[in-house]
Amino acid sequence: MKKTFLSFLFVAAVSSASFAQVSFGPKLGLGISTLKQTKTPDGQTTTTYSSILTPQVGVVLNAQITDNFAIRPELLYLQRGAKSDLGGGATLTTRASYVELPINLVGGFQAGPGKLELFVGPSFGLALGGHYKAEGNGNSVEGSIKPKKQPEGATGNDIYMNPLNVSLNIGVDYKFDNGLLIQAGYNLGFSNSTPHYANSDQESNRNKDVTKASSINFGVAYLFGGKK
């Protein structure tokens, strides 16, 4: 159902700009990803996170509505995660994969051999799963991150997360007249990555434990059909 919803948003964005000059192409990028715990359960210490490098790859569609305005949806595979200090020299590194759909509104002006542009827009991500590794005192423990509700009485090494991530993109790019696009931006997460509970009676606990993702992103794309 969620995959269908993301597909619908992508098609709607493309269809709404069907009258525009359209170009598209591949994108490669790198994220500096981290997490921030904004609410901490009573009696617990707030977790402090540090950043990790994460890959991004996908496709970009640029619908040029006017000379100075465009709608630019993307369909990306990317990762989000962070490293946290568990105390006593132990660390926990988490890394989760997402299919993500940013829909950016772009405004710019001609500057040299291309356009200098600002972009902003929502992004909708669906987690595919992930991996974590805890290390310390010469020992390590690894396990899977599952994008599903926290089962009641769960055992084993698996941990769980909220599969949906809604966020906001904001950034700057330079789009050369030959189709080359260079981007730098910031992604601010709104969704709580803490999982929902299979037992609905425990959902109130989730509201006391809120962790959100964010990242600084750099990307390069080439838009076929974008030449003047």
As a whole number of angstroms, the distance between CA 130 and CA 181 comes to 30
Residue 227 lies in a domain: no
Residue 86 lies in a domain: yes
Residue 153 lies in a domain: yes
Domain limits for position 13: 2-42+49-222
Of the pLDDT bands very low, low, confident and very high (cuts 50, 70, 90), residue 61 is: very high
- What is the chain's alpha carbon radius of gyration, rounded to the nearest angstrom? 20
DSSP per residue over 145-168, as a string? EESS-B-TT--SS-EE--SEEEEE
In this structure, what DSSP letter does residue 11 have?
H
Residue 23 lies in a domain: yes
Let me know: does 91 contact 135? Beta carbons within 8 Å.
yes
Mean per-residue pLDDT of the chain: 90
Residue 228 lies in a domain: no
56 closest CA partner among 164, 183, 226: 183
Residue 157 lies in a domain: yes
The arithmetic mean of pLDDT across residues 150-163, rounded, is: 86
**What is the domain-level CATH number for residue 14?**
2.40.160.20
Residue 3, classed as helix, strand or coil, is: helix
**pTM for the full model?**
0.87
DSSP per residue over 45-80, as a string? PPP-EE-EEEEEEEEEEEEEEETTEEEEEEEEEEEE
The backbone region for 157, taken as left when phi is positive above 0, alpha when psi lies in -120 to 50, beta otherwise, is alpha
Q: Is the pLDDT of residue 202 over 50?
A: yes
The pLDDT tens digits of the residues spanning 82-136 come to 999 888 889 999 999 999 999 999 999 999 999 999 999 999 999 999 999 999 8
As a whole number of angstroms, the distance between CA 144 and CA 140 comes to 14
How many structural domains does the chain have? 1
Residue 199 lies in a domain: yes
Residue 28 lies in a domain: yes
Which pLDDT belongs to residue 17? Answer: 47
